[in-house]
Structure 1
Amino acid sequence: MKASRLLHLLLLLQARRRITTTELAERMEVSRRTVLRDVEALSTAGVPVYAERGRSGGIVLLPGARLNASHLEPRELEALSVLGLGGEQLERLGLTTAHETAARKIAARQATTSGTQRVARLADVILVDSAAWFADPAAGVDIADLASALRHGRRMRVEYRRSAEGRATTRVVDPYGLVMKAGRWYLVADDRSNGRLFALERLPAFESLETPAALRPGQTLRTVWAALKERTESPGQVSVTARLRASRLDLARRILGNRIQKVSGAEGEWCTVVVRYPDIESVRQLLQFGDHIEVITPQAARARIVRLARDLAGRHEAPAR
């Protein structure tokens, strides 16, 4: 039995506890007979998994079972240790046990290595924290349940609240899969044949429908995500020139990213930056730099900053409500 197939089988069972032989065979892209042989081998090796016969039967992993990673190679185990999923994300995906067991297995393998120079584990020299700064624990659907439902390739009815709206609305989408970006999970799906991102913290409920997902020909999770990412991160067509205090240049690069098109004069107290936005209204983002910035051109952007600043000052001059 291949180690990768063993890991896949155990992770699927750990997330669901009970899965039909047919579904396991489809997900692992093997025959039902191969699944049954793998289950028998795991059971013989002491893993509490068994085949349950009958109409409602399937492959069952006993509650409280721990992932046995003894069949994994050291390089596979090390890869698990630096996947980049944080503790909360592993918990929501049902992979906490697998991750902990893999870490113990890596340590055990290295402790018994003889005749070779001791090399530090990747996890000792690489720490990946994928959670966003200052992020609160996100509410929403159970990611493990959603990931499991996505494997069936069906349309979904989702409840979703847009960021500018107070209540969720219902829509039917054709899902491609899940993406985790900067500590946030997104459902990538077609909404009326248009690619969309649905933040899971604003997606409180979903329902799989019987209708197969009508995905666009030739499109996959990776291709749709690439297009959405490019569209989201596009710097825009409006160029705004501003004077920025040089001591705030590093902060500006963290906040504005690739929207900064050009920087000049950074060796002095002030520098000049050219920032690209999709529209004039987006210039309000620069207000967070306070008295460390002055918008120079275009005049429409400068005038918008003036109106926003006057409105902000006016509300602070009056007594607090």
Structure 2
Amino acid sequence: MRADRLVSLVLLLRQRGQLTADTLARELEVSTRTVLRDIEALSAAGVPVYAERGRHGGFALLPGFQTELTGLNHDEALALLVAGAARGDQVLGLGSPLASAMRKVVDALPEGHRSTASDAAQRLLVDPETDLLSRPVVTEGTTETAMAEIRRAVFSGHRLRIRYAAVDQAPKWRTVDPVGLVTVGDRSYLLATRAGQDRTYRLSRVLAAEELSEPARRPDRVDLDRVWRERCEQFLSGVDRVTVRARVDPARREELVSSALAVRSGETGEETGADGWPRLEATFQDARHAGWALWQLGAAGEVLAPGWLRAVLRDRALAMAARYRAPS
């Protein structure tokens, strides 16, 4: 366990440069004191790790330090094999390189690990192409050629021209500065800036792309997780968003959660009424989206607020009852 952690610590410093003890502790899921002991152990073993003092200090490796750290234990190899089998061909157009990488991983394993890891991977299935009801799982994407251009621009730091089909608009070319790529569930996005303004493009709407030779106007380093959280907050604060207060049958709760943009429970945890039904605050894209999502629940859900949405669902229910009251 400790040997694996020491290897991970060196790899983190090699790949990300100077890091604080707190950051290393979070990455390795150990205490700061454990990180400091590991740093001492590495130094005693001859690894040239040094400390930078001060407000912006941390630990780093001497420039140019190289070492071979290619060993994988059984669980690490199994994690790679399972991740590679999880519909990897549909993730950002990297199917062929991923398959090649998986073959190299298997070939590089020690003989004792090779057969056991391969056998174990066959007994794990992650994210299959259909769900339990035999419904196909559709993954959005763009053409392989366009995806290759987008990836090259993101990794090389060049500007990018994309022909983008926004909702209810004719496709048109845009020149953007790519920041990064994000995959969430079955959707992938290009995070970029355009004329200095943040922009998020769904890759399934990119019809064509062209990497430009001009350098992108972006910082050298990016915290993509933080950027994505900020984009999500901006999206949820849009002027057309509708927030609904509702009570839901516990058996149908996940259905509402999956259809909403965001769901919040109470400040101190999920609120539950005397009837045992949770009270939730759900955010939807617009009024039409909110009406559709709550209508799907039927009697298994009730809008508590806003009043206008209660009226919309009541009028729709009365119209449906009138339609089916008389025989056809």
Which bin holds the TM-score, normalised by the shorter protein? Answer: 0.5 to 0.7
On the 8 A contact 1:139/1:201 being kept in 2, the answer is yes
Counterpart-to-counterpart distance in 2, 1:121 and 1:239: 48
| Alignment match, 2:45 | none
Report the equivalent of 2:150. Answer: 146
Per the alignment, residue 20 of structure 2 pairs with none
Q: What amino acid is the match of 1:287?
A: W
CA distance in 2, matches of 1:139, 1:101: 27
Q: Is the 8 A contact 2:163 2:171 kept in 1?
A: yes
Q: Is the 8 A contact 1:150 1:175 kept in 2?
A: yes
Structure 1 counterpart of 2:90? 89
Tell me what 1:275 maps to.
Answer: 281
1:301 pairs with 300, 309, 315, which one? 309
Which consecutive residues of structure 2, in runs of 5 or more, have no partner in the other structure? 1-10, 16-62
The corresponding residue for 1:73 is 71
Q: Which residue of 1 aligns with 2:164?
A: 160
TM-score of the two chains, using structure 2 as the length reference: 0.57
Give 1:190 deviation, angstroms: 0.8
TM-score by length of 1: 0.59
Maintained 8 Å contact 2:236/2:261: no
Compared with structure 1, are the counterparts of its residues 314 and 151 closer, same or farther at alpha carbon in structure 2 (3 Å cutoff)? Answer: farther
Residue pairs, 1:15-164, within 5 angstroms: 72-75=70-73, 77-78=77-78, 80-83=80-83, 86-89=87-90, 92-93=93-94, 94-106=97-109, 108-110=111-113, 123=121, 127-129=125-127, 134-136=136-138, 138-142=140-144, 143-162=147-166, 164=167
Q: Distance in 1 between matches of 2:218 and 2:195?
A: 10
SS at match of 1:286: helix
Check the 8 A contact 2:149/2:210 in 1, yes or no: no
Alignment of 1:230-309 (within 5 A): 230-232=233-235, 240-256=244-260, 258-262=262-266, 263-265=270-272, 268=275, 271-277=277-283, 281=287, 282-284=289-291, 285-306=293-314
Q: What's the C-alpha RMSD, in Å, of the aligned pairs?
A: 4.5
| Cα distance in 1, alignment partners of residues 211 and 243 from structure 2 | 44
Distance (whole Å) between structure 2 residues aligned to residue 280 and residue 207 of structure 1 = 34
Deviation at 1:256, TM superposition (A): 4.2
1:279-308 Cα offsets, whole Å, 9 max, x none, are 871522212212322223231221233456
Shift of 1:310: 6.7
Equivalent residue of 1:259, what SS?
strand
Alignment partners' CA distance in 1, 2:128 and 2:236: 19
Percent of aligned pairs sharing the same letter: 24
In the alignment, the residues of structure 2 paired with residue 316 and residue 101 of structure 1 have an alpha-carbon distance, to the nearest angstrom, of 63
**d(CA) in 2 for partners of 1:180 and 1:132?**
19
Going from structure 1 to structure 2, the CA distance change for 1:223 and 1:139 (only over 3 Å counts) comes to closer
Change (3 A) 1:246 1:173: same
> Matches of 1:307 and 1:99 in 2, distance apart?
57
Shift of 1:182: 1.0
Residue identity in the other structure for 1:185? S
Match of 2:198 among 175, 195, 200: 195
SS in 2 for 1:149: helix
SS state of the match for residue 252, structure 1? Answer: helix
**Counterpart selection for 1:215 from 213, 218, 238:** 218
Classify 1:147/1:240 alpha carbon distance in 2 versus 1 (closer, same or farther; 3 Å). Answer: closer
| Equivalent in the alignment of 1:60 | none
CA distance in 2, matches of 1:279, 1:204: 24
- Tell me the alpha carbon deviations over residues 25-83 of structure 1, each in whole angstroms, 9 at most, x when there is no partner: xxxxx99xx9xxxxxxxxxxxxxxxxxxxxxxxxxxxxxxxxxxxx9422464553244
Distance 1:251 1:239 in 2: 17
